Structure 1
Amino acid sequence: MPLAEDQQPLIQTLKRVAYHLKQMGVPFALAGSFAVYARGGGGCDHDVDFLIKEEDADRILTGLVEVGFRAEIPPEGWLVKVYDEDRLVDLIFSPVQRPVTDETLADTDVLSVNACHMPVLSATELMIHKLLSMGPHYCDLSKALPVAQSMREQIDWARVERETAHSPYAQAFMVLLDRLNVVSLAGISSATERRAQLKEVSG
């Protein structure tokens, strides 16, 4: 799906940040709506999300400021921000209260984002983040549903169900996906049971 005209400058900012992160030699992954776009989905937001490790945040901010970005350290404590003129890039080190680790950043594929290759977060982890962002103050199914539909063949739904089982909002969304025939909860349960049996046998 092509980007809207007003998002073309934002994709240039995305590519510029990715280039400088590569030059710094720090691990990162494209996340958020642009990662969904890179995986064949659509509906990009009006900012860019990258995952980084918290220990790299200061170095990344310093490096990006040196090449002309404006930095901001917000009070939330789980991300830092940079601006390319008025275009916002979030550099997130603890999305949905899950710290970014080497394992997180290994759960990626190197994909082309408008002719710029970079690590893109897995569809499974993207879906987990989307579901765990739901709560009593934010529960926008209209944004989560297209993500699930556009990437459903790329997603390990058994893992999604397992890692979001503590969230009633996520579980309600899984029931909705089942009723809409996007996924099969019965199939997910069967896959989970088979994996548990294989683990017992191999253990």
Structure 2
Amino acid sequence: MRQADCFSCASWQDITWCRELGGGDPGNFSEDCLYLNVWAPAVRHEPLPVMVWLHGGGYTIGAGSLPPYDGHALAKRGAIVVTVNYRLGHLGFFTHPALEGGEAECIHNFALLDQIAALRWVQDNIAAFGGDTQNVTLFGESAGARSVLSLMASPLAKGLFHKAIIQSGYTLPDTPREVALKKGVALAEHLGLANATARTATRFTGRDVLAAGRAF
């Protein structure tokens, strides 16, 4: 059991940019950043609707713990609110041929897999907080809204949520797969790995990737 009297770490990101554009101070950073936050009414007489929030920030900044995403207001109106952290930047979307593993279409969208894992957690655990597992709304803004659209189309997220709210989203892919692979190779070379393997390509620290990310 862990003391839950403060928010856990956010994914590595540019703290100045997040303070100016992302809605506040995201706190400490760590690769150990996959945490979520739950707000629930103090008194519950029946299973309540669940609202899962995915923050925006261009997939490079943000956290579920930022002040604008405080869930108290919705919880007072009878909802269980869940805000989610997910990996950002290269930690969330690093693409490299060495990670393909012989698969024809290896998934490099790790941030979306983080979000799916959070939705699975909700299905497994939210009833303990008074939530209705059959009434889950997924909502988000900007990159969070784009994530909602992606998860609506993903078979991996099927059945994990039932309604969606898309706030200021966009639909076109950011980077074609072939371009992303080339960028991943360039990033690895920038970090001194001209012939990266699956093992060495995942040894970069969050601080290394954040510093290199400004160049890509």
TM-score (normalised: structure 1): 0.27
Higher RCO (CA 8 Å, separation ≥ 6 residues): 2
Give the number of the structure whose residues are more often helix, by fraction.
1
TM-score, with length taken from structure 2? 0.25
